[in-house]
Amino acid sequence: MVWALLAVLVAACNGNGGVASPTATSTAGTTEAPTREPGARLSTVEIVRKLRPSVVQVVTEGAQLNVFGELVPSRGLGTGVIIDAEGLIVTNNHVVRVGDALASRITVTLADGRTLSASVVGADPQTDLAVLKIDAQGLTPAELGDVSALPVGADVVAMGFALGLEGDPTVTRGVVSAKNRTIQEQSVSINDAIQTDASINPGNSGGPLVDDRGRVVGISTAIIQGGENIGFAISIDLVKPIVEELIRNGRVERGFLGVRFTDITPSLARNLGLPAEEGVGLAEVVAGSPADEADLRPEDIIIALGDTKIRNSGDLLEALRRHRAGERVKVRFYRDGDEQETEVTLGAQPE
């Protein structure tokens, strides 16, 4: 049985193929934060004034192989958000990479025009998040929000250095089109993503999605290729624990199962006559992996790991994040229409 991914995503960054060079320019100016009662709704202008000091441009340099196998210089551009007065910045993992490796040089440009070298504190390819560190004074960290209190239909503003345009970041406005989306593309799998119709373009990657109080509720990460007004941001509720672990350990330590998988949906279950309308279908079990040693097989449908019900790939990844290498966990699954259970000794997540 072949499990097909249902969405084709492209990273919303100017990529490793170079920075666009449009002719339009703008002049950065100084801004003052709005004076409002705490928690009061802000206009778009007030949101921009509040967030502008916290939004930075990230430029990466490195080398990667071209189609002829030759190493050629590569430059990429993205956006970041200051989250700490000591110089910590959150952005996307794909922003800080050139090809499969971390960029050899990363610079950050602040709202006041200062351009500084940045180092990578930690990066997590699976959630497409990274934390940078700069050595600077007088920084303004962004206020972080809470997605659990953010309703579908709420107004949001996206900010980022779209298309490499010079000057201040591009500002677009929209609504929360949906919540709890799962983004799955190559090594990236993000649960509880925010879908928005606020325009997100190449260069926006790592930039903030902001609620009407000026609080960051998401980090822009992807757009659907060929889709119109469909962009995604990583929920700040996911960003917070991932960033904390990156700061603490430099990486996110997850239990490793050793499988490739896709989501089971009601329509897929009906079409294929599957016994479960939700869960995670195994497309491949890596030879010698913990899953292989526990006799999990392709076409098994995982419905629980430990005490966690598995409805989709996001649930599985989040459950694995809560367990460590060496732990034994029970896995419930369907095989040939029968519900079964096994125990798996989780391995260490490969580098």
Q: Is 189 a catalytic residue?
A: no
Task: Single out the catalytic residue among 94, 168, 211, 235.
Answer: 94
Identify any residues that bridge with 43 across adjacent strands, giving them in sequence order: none
Q: Is 323 a catalytic residue?
A: no
Q: E strand or H helix at 292, and its extent? A: helix 290-293
Contact call for residues 301 and 276 (beta carbons, < 8 A): yes
Q: What is the three-class DSSP state of 191?
A: strand
Q: Is 128 a catalytic residue?
A: yes
DSSP state of 147: G
- Which amino acid is present at 217? V
- Which amino acid is present at 125? P
Q: E strand or H helix at 240, and its extent? A: helix 236-249
Task: Single out the catalytic residue among 54, 124, 128, 212.
Answer: 128
The Cβ-side half-sphere exposure at 344, using a 13 Å CA radius, reads: 31
Contact call for residues 78 and 162 (beta carbons, < 8 A): no
First to last CA, the chain: 29
Contact call for residues 177 and 230 (beta carbons, < 8 A): yes
Task: Single out the catalytic residue among 54, 74, 205, 289.
Answer: 205
Would you please indicate which residues are annotated as catalytic (active-site) residues?
94, 128, 205
